[in-house]
Amino acid sequence: MKRMKYFLIAVMAVIFSCDSDDVATPNAVVPSNLSVSSQNEGDGVVNFTASATNATYYHFDFGDGTTGLTNSGTISKTYDMIGDNTYTVTVTAGSSGQSQTISESIQVAVSLGFSDPETVAFLTDGSSKTWFVAVAQPGHLGVGPAREGIDGEWWFPKWFSAQAFEKCSEEISDCFCDDELTFSTDGNGNISYTLNNNGSTFFNAAHLAAAGGSGDEDSCFEFDTSGTKEVVLSPVSGNVPEGETTGIQMDFSDDGFMSYYVGSSNYEILSISENLLYVRSFDSENPDLAWYLRFSADANSGGGEENLVTQFNNLVWSDEFDVDGAPDPAKWTYDLGAGGWGNGEAQEYTNNPENVRVEDGVLKITAIGSGTSGNVLHYYDDVMLVNNTDSAVLQDFEGTAPAFTGFGGTTTEVIDNPDATGDNVSSKVAQSTKPVGAEVWAGSFFDLDTPLDLSTYNSISIKTWSPTVGAVIKLKIENSNNSEESHEVDLMSTVAESWETLTYDFSGAPDFVYDRVVLFFDFGESPQGDSAYTSARIKTENLYEFTYGRVEIRAKLPSAGGTWPALWTLGANFDEVGWPASGEMDIMEHVGNNSNVTSSALHYPGNSGGSAVTNSTSVPTATSEFHNYTIEWTAESIKFVVDDELIHLSFTNAADTPFNADFFFIMNVAMGGTLGGTIDPAFTEDTMEVDYIRVYQ
């Protein structure tokens, strides 16, 4: 699990308007003689040059929903829409202190092809590679709804049968199991494809007419699949969760298809690795129906490495959880506190018996909804530029709310004024929520329509409402295109639970373009108190740490929406080198919002967070029955399996990875966050039960 990263992410498009409440200086001159030119550099890169008399800044609307701002008039833009596209680019030139601007539009044609070298490498092994139906795996052929709206969310495919070899044990479908799918590349990213069906193709019943057949059952028919097809990769979006798809689609020429005939030549790649390829395709007769296929690069087993053959049989460490009470203190210690280590989780970890205990021969880690929240709320309104005699409103929240971007745990929204008295009787204000466990630097920002006019106004005033006296309220102004161009001022609240006006002096701000307002309430503090959810996270750090072996954990998982249980390991040198340099091996992760699937992952430099090496597998009874979650870890490889059977993730270990040193165990149940997702509003509590954990070497 991704626990130890802290990001302050500031990504927001700037939207420009010719309307302004700024007051022009007497000597300001309206820009004139605006000219704009472009130079297409290829690969979607276009360089723009704009010039105008008396202009001090240029705003670019690139025609694809993004914008840019520059003082020099030169700017580079990378377009990412695949295909041949024409964009209307509008450039607006303005002068500091002058509300009038001039604009000019040009047309820019951009042609962009799509390529993904990693996918090409996996498909073709750099030259040519043959794939086979993964007959040893459940789900080598599966079916499920394809679109949102059928059941409200993506369905993991329903397997045709619990018998892994069903499609190869019946005469009606045995032709499906000997297909050979060969992908080749010319080294320039171009992919060709041939299907050897050994004379017969397995047809979906709705498509039998394509082979001259009829009937209402899927059947094998002689069918000519000779000839080479071209394969084009393209990005695809749909209702598959981001973590369950590569976002890449294969389009086959000349009615090419992959093994099972459903009249489609388009296949979304859900996952791909050296040995396993998992795709889905929409049925041409029923686009609300999707077919799922698994292929393997291993011709002998037809399913890759079907079963784990272990080289470790000596039991060297275990916990059978056979003594009631707290977990054995000689084996386990605790992580305590709130926040989720950068994942936006909602729980606070405790060592309370109601959250973690051994009972009836199993370890129970229970997440509980407390019904309370330690969130700290601040309010603000009427953000204004001011000087000794005049003012200009930047934001009063009475019209369309700005787009707020929060970081470090803080969220901001416009609400009805909860205390329309004293200094502020307006109807709408901004509410900043800083939850228990948020980062000390948590805050949020919004962007301005036009850059700040600090030549006319030297200060910014804000009406604020804080629950306490002495809360540090940091105001930072920033260039949205260059966060290093910024200036910040700290003030403190002087009254509690009442509106006051704070005025920030920006007369010393460097001469940058400032078009972003960033606010940090209670800067330097992380709220303390009762979280809305409590849970537990236990670990063997400094008690048991090991290198290489087979780990087997038998567990039954919670099912409530928003739960995020995990059984994982972290490099024992974490305190010295940090994450992801320490390495992380996730033996099992699960989310209650997708309860029939478990996943495994490896995090290390260059492959961490959303870029981790990961794969998932179907475990339909993960929340109702105990299953064995296993990792086989050697200097040469790392393999993950469920119930000692199918290897769903295999990694080639090497001397330059972190996976050649001591690691320690962690078990926990998180709530919500980046993977846990939306928490069921009716959640009260749910439990992960662990029967045992064993290490063999």
* CATH at 42: 2.60.40.10
Model confidence at 434: pLDDT above 90: no
Q: How many domains are contained in the chain?
A: 4
Mark whether 386 and 242 lie in a shared domain. no
Which pLDDT does position 167 carry in this prediction? 54
Lowest mean pLDDT among 79-83, 552-556, 628-632: 79-83
Which pLDDT does position 340 carry in this prediction? 59
Going by their DSSP bridges, the two strands 276-282 and 663-671 should be labelled as unpaired
Residues 480-525 pLDDT 10s: 988 889 999 999 999 999 999 999 999 999 999 999 999 999 998 8
Mark whether 431 and 445 lie in a shared domain. yes
Higher pLDDT, 622 or 529: 622
Q: Are 142 and 295 in contact (CB under 8 A)?
A: no
The answer to whether residue 526 sits within a structural domain is: no
What three-state secondary structure class fits 440? coil
Measured between alpha carbons, how far is 40 from 57 in angstroms, rounded to an integer? 23
Q: Are 667 and 674 in contact (CB under 8 A)?
A: no
Model confidence at 147: pLDDT above 70: no
Mark whether 284 and 177 lie in a shared domain. yes
The answer to whether residue 208 sits within a structural domain is: yes
Which pLDDT does position 244 carry in this prediction? 75
Residues 220-234 pLDDT 10s: 888 999 899 999 998
CATH code, domain carrying 689: 2.60.120.200
The answer to whether residue 404 sits within a structural domain is: yes
Residues 674-693 pLDDT 10s: 788 878 878 999 999 999 99
**Which among 244, 267, 296 is the end of a domain?**
296
Mark whether 535 and 501 lie in a shared domain. no
pTM summary value? 0.47
Mark whether 283 and 346 lie in a shared domain. no
Which pLDDT does position 161 carry in this prediction? 29
**Which among 112, 143, 158 is the end of a domain?**
112
**Which among 521, 555, 582 is the end of a domain?**
521
Instruction: Name the CA dihedral angle for 632, 638, 640, 643, rounded to a multiple of 10 degrees.
Output: -20
Cα three-residue angle 345-332-342, rounded to 5 degrees: 20
Percentage of the chain beyond pLDDT 70 is 87
Model confidence at 160: pLDDT above 50: no
The answer to whether residue 14 sits within a structural domain is: no
Mark whether 164 and 279 lie in a shared domain. yes
Residues 561-571 pLDDT 10s: 999 999 999 99
Model confidence at 168: pLDDT above 70: no
Residues 273-319 pLDDT 10s: 888 898 989 888 887 788 888 888 876 443 334 578 888 999 999 99
Model confidence at 361: pLDDT above 90: yes
Mark whether 129 and 166 lie in a shared domain. yes
Lowest mean pLDDT among 76-85, 217-226, 431-440: 431-440
Residues 395-407 pLDDT 10s: 999 999 999 988 8
The catalytic residue among 305, 439, 552, 589 is 589
**Which residues are bridge partners to 617 per DSSP?**
598
pLDDT category at 108 given cuts 50, 70, 90 is very high
Higher pLDDT, 159 or 182: 182
Lowest mean pLDDT among 113-122, 154-163, 591-600: 154-163
Instruction: Give the pair of three-digit tokens for residue 416.
Output: 């009805």
Can you list the pairs that 418-423 forms with residues at least 24 positions away whose Cβ atoms lie under 8 Å? 418/379, 419/379, 419/465, 419/497, 419/498, 419/499, 421/498, 421/499, 422/498, 422/499, 423/463, 423/498, 423/499, 423/500, 423/501
Mark whether 232 and 253 lie in a shared domain. yes
Higher pLDDT, 91 or 616: 91
Which pLDDT does position 218 carry in this prediction? 85
Instruction: Give the pair of three-digit tokens for residue 656.
Output: 């330059």
Q: What are phi and psi of 681, to 5 degrees?
A: -60, -25
pLDDT category at 657 given cuts 50, 70, 90 is very high
Lowest mean pLDDT among 59-68, 89-98, 550-559: 89-98
584 noted as active-site residue? yes
pLDDT category at 341 given cuts 50, 70, 90 is low
pLDDT category at 84 given cuts 50, 70, 90 is confident
Mark whether 348 and 403 lie in a shared domain. no
Percentage of the chain beyond pLDDT 90 is 57
Which pLDDT does position 175 carry in this prediction? 82
305 noted as active-site residue? no
Mean pLDDT for the chain overall: 85
Mark whether 559 and 680 lie in a shared domain. yes
The catalytic residue among 306, 584, 632, 689 is 584
